[in-house]
């Protein structure tokens, strides 16, 4: 009885810091944003000074209606869905490939390669975008210049399609190593006896990957896929930094950028809050939808 109580106290003690932070830096701001999204500012006439004094009133779903009526917001939404469609296979494919290479029996200098693959994750997104920005702009970029000399004329930010892939490249560069590390950890946890048994049965390296490694790291693949879906839908820093360098990126290129513009350029926090809530709902729908699909398949 007394042991149980002390265990419970210990558990509470360990949980408390988490719960505290979770409530104050996560739940509370989200609740506040949701609350803000149901308000609007009412004015009259020119809206200047005391005669047109602004009042904040309950708006019901007005902000949501307004947000969804903006074609550029919907365009941004469609764009990030398309981005996720491209980025998820690209990211997971790259991360899995790197992880399997590092895990291969014949791999050399594993710690060196593992750290160098992971290194880009240590570069903050904004810095990575500035860095890649310099590598993308013709006239400034050494890469573009060298390729130009061999007859390959590249303009990575020159059109909307090129910009799309250039962004995908930055995001993959940044996060593939991180996702790889999660996969590597799970690969390391596979029991060696399984490989021994497989080898006795005559399995080669390819068979091991196909029938042992991939099925057993499935949970890690699902996890990294969820990370990637969330990350791509919330795309912000990369297009924000490259905005000045590419004509393809406008002020509502992604939903997060649109919300930023509403809040910090247009001073319309209520609409920005509604846009953020819509994005959050779409993201959770997609993430849970994916989990549900995966779960159904596994149970079959």
Residues that bind other proteins (CB under 8 A): 40-50, 52-54, 66, 72, 134, 137-140, 159-160, 243-245, 247-252, 261, 263-268
CB of 92 to other proteins, least distance (A): 31
Please, what is the minimum distance in Å from the beta carbon of residue 195 to other proteins? 52
12 versus 44: smaller Cβ distance to other proteins: 44
Cα torsion 19, 20, 23, 25 to 10°: value is -120
- How far apart are alpha carbons 270 and 63 in whole angstroms? 7
Note whether 63 and 272 are within 8 A (CB): no
Minimum CB–partner distance for residue 48 and other proteins (Å): 5
Q: Select 64 or 113, whichever has its Cβ closest to other proteins.
A: 64
Q: Which long-range contacts (CB under 8 A, 24 or more apart) does 137-144 make?
A: 137/245
Nearest distance, CB of residue 139 and other proteins, angstroms: 5
Q: Which is nearer to other proteins, 42 or 191 (CB)?
A: 42
Phi and psi at residue 234, to the nearest 5°:
-95, 15
Cβ(163)–Cβ(136) below 8 Å: no
Looking at the Cβ atoms of 8 and 43, the one nearer to other proteins is 43
- Return the half-sphere exposure (C-beta side, CA atoms, 13 A cut-off) of residue 121: 14
Phi, psi at 154, each rounded to 5°: -105, 140
Give residues with Cβ within 8 angstroms of 230, minimum separation 6: 283, 287
Name the CA dihedral angle for 4, 6, 10, 15, rounded to a multiple of 10 degrees: 60
Instruction: Give the nearer residue to other proteins in terms of CB position, either 130 or 222.
Output: 130
Nearer to other proteins, 36 or 225 (CB): 36
Nearest approach, Cβ of 79 to other proteins (angstroms)? 13
Question: Within 13 Å of residue 270, how many CA atoms lie on the same side as its CB?
Answer: 16
Quickly list H helices, the chain.
2-22, 28-36, 62-69, 71-103, 110-118, 125-136, 142-149, 160-188, 192-200, 205-208, 214-216, 218-233, 237-242, 255-260, 269-299
Least separation, in Å, of the C-beta of 75 and other proteins? Answer: 10
CB of 84 to other proteins, least distance (A): 23
Q: How far is the CB of 152 from other proteins (least distance, A)?
A: 19
Which is nearer to other proteins, 106 or 267 (by Cβ)? 267
Q: Which two tokens stand for residue 228?
A: 């990637």
Using the minimum distance from each CB to other proteins, give the nearer residue, 120 or 158: 158
């Amino acid at each position: 009885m007394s042991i149980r109580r002390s265990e419970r106290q210990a558990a509470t003690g360990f949980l408390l810091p988490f719960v505290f932070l979770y409530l104050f830096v996560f739940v509370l701001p989200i609740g506040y944003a949701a609350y803000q999204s149901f308000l609007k500012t009412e004015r009259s006439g020119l809206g200047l000074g005391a005669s047109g004094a602004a009042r904040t009133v309950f708006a019901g779903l007005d902000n949501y209606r307004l947000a969804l009526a903006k074609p550029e917001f919907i365009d941004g939404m469609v764009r990030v869905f398309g981005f996720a469609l491209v980025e998820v296979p690209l990211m997971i494919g790259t991360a899995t490939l790197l992880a399997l290479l590092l895990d291969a029996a014949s791999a050399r200098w594993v710690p060196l390669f593992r750290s160098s693959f992971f290194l880009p994750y240590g570069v903050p997104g904004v810095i990575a975008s500035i860095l890649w920005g310099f590598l993308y702009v013709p006239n400034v970029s050494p890469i573009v210049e060298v390729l130009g000399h061999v007859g390959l004329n590249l303009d990575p930010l020159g059109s909307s399609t090129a910009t799309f892939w250039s962004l995908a490249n930055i995001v993959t560069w940044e996060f593939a190593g991180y996702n790889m590390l999660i996969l590597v950890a799970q690969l390391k946890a596979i029991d060696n006896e399984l490989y021994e048994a497989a080898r006795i049965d005559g399995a080669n390296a390819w068979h091991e990957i196909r029938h042992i490694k991939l099925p057993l790291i499935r949970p890690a693949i699902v996890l990294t896929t969820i990370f990637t879906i969330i990350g791509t839908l919330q795309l912000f820093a990369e297009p924000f930094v490259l905005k000045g360098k590419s004509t393809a990126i406008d002020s509502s290129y992604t939903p997060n950028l649109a919300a930023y513009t509403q809040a910090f350029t247009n001073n319309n926090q209520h609409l920005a809050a509604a846009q953020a809530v819509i994005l959050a709902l779409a993201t959770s729908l997609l993430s849970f939808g994916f989990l549900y699909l995966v779960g159904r398949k596994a149970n079959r």
